[in-house]
Amino acid sequence: MAENKLTGLRDQIDHIDDEILQLLNRRAEVVLEVGRLKADQSKEFYVPGRERAIYERLIGGNSGPFPDEGVRRVFREIISASLSLEQPLKVAFLGPPATFTHQAAMQQFGFSAQLVAQKSIPAVFEEVLRGRAPYGVVPVENSNEGVVSHTLDMFMRSDLQINAEVLLEVQHDLLSLNGRLEDIRKVASHPQALAQCRQWLEENLPDIPQDDVASTALAAQMASEDGSVAAIAGEIAATLYGLQTVKKKIEDNPNNFTRFLVIGQNVPEPSGRDKTSVMFSVKDQPGILYHMLAPFSRRNINLCKIESRPMKRKAWEYVFFLDMEGHIEEPLVREAIEELRMCCETLRVLGSYPRSR
């Protein structure tokens, strides 16, 4: 009796899967029609605000028991595959594969996108600037380690726009070929990852030497070639390099996030929940800090972040990076930026884009 019931339930699953497949193909047909209309009207085929709205609508209407994060992951791949029907999507990212930037690119664009690793942040900007890839993904800041200065410096030399942001929870796993702690004779990783796991390493592997390498991916490759080497890397590295997990989440601070930026040539349309980033330099005069912030305070615009970088052309001159809530097409945001411009030597809007969840 139990076997018959099990067979019946499996038949139901097969029938549901067939229905899902039919619906996916119906959806694909509509997507192709959308792609044709976008091409006729010369519109961007990748609209990050629209994607976020889809996720929020579906998760908001999810009554379970299918988990919300599962809904997002499933539809991430459905949307990724659909975009590949409209137009093959090539995305440059700071490589090599299996780094956290690679993971962020997959989180944003899915497995159907053509993700192309680059050796440096300037190389990612160059790929997008020359049109060899319509989008690029670069890290911009970490909640523990601060800003990625190379990314901010590139915005000082580039006209590219920020199209989206990705927040990725950084989870450091200890990986090796056989997954046994007692076999480890060396731990390899990027210096930042080793620093973020210092306490765990001191308590659990106090006498094991540590090897600073160029990336977590290179560490994973080393571990895949030598059973005595363990790598500190993300879970994607275990999959790509055939490693086993010795210990998950060995980072000292569990509240560890990295923010990544998607760069492109165009400004996305307003999504209703946006962020605008600007870069500017100011004239050296009394009260300049007040004049910088007052236009936003008077309009009740929330400032998310302010960062300064040396201009390099002259000592003690700085360029400022400012993030604010709202889209450049919103009147109050536009007015505040124009008022700020009046006390600036230079000002450039880096982009208005959907805020990450």
Distance, in Å, from the CA atom of 110 to the CA atom of 83, rounded to the nearest integer, reads 10
Tokens of 59: 């998760």
Q: Are 188 and 199 in contact (CB under 8 A)?
A: no
User: CB-side exposure of 317: number of CA atoms within 13 Å?
Assistant: 13
Distance, in Å, from the CA atom of 189 to the CA atom of 300, rounded to the nearest integer, reads 44
Task: Work out whether strand 229-233 and strand 186-189 pair parallel, antiparallel, or are unpaired.
Answer: parallel
Cis peptide before 254 (omega within 30 of 0): no
Q: Are 314 and 254 in contact (CB under 8 A)?
A: no
Active-site annotation holder among 109, 258, 280, 296? 258
Sheet of 244-247, strands arranged across = 210-212, 186-189, 229-233, 173-176, 244-247
Distance, in Å, from the CA atom of 35 to the CA atom of 210, rounded to the nearest integer, reads 51
Q: Is 260 a catalytic residue?
A: yes
Active-site annotation holder among 260, 296, 320, 321? 260
Distance, in Å, from the CA atom of 36 to the CA atom of 266, rounded to the nearest integer, reads 20
Distance, in Å, from the CA atom of 185 to the CA atom of 68, rounded to the nearest integer, reads 41
Cis peptide before 96 (omega within 30 of 0): yes
Q: Is 245 a catalytic residue?
A: no
Number of Cβ atoms within 10 Å of the Cβ of 227: 14
Tokens of 54: 């889809």
CA pseudo-torsion sign 325, 327, 330, 333: positive
The residues assigned a catalytic role are 258, 260
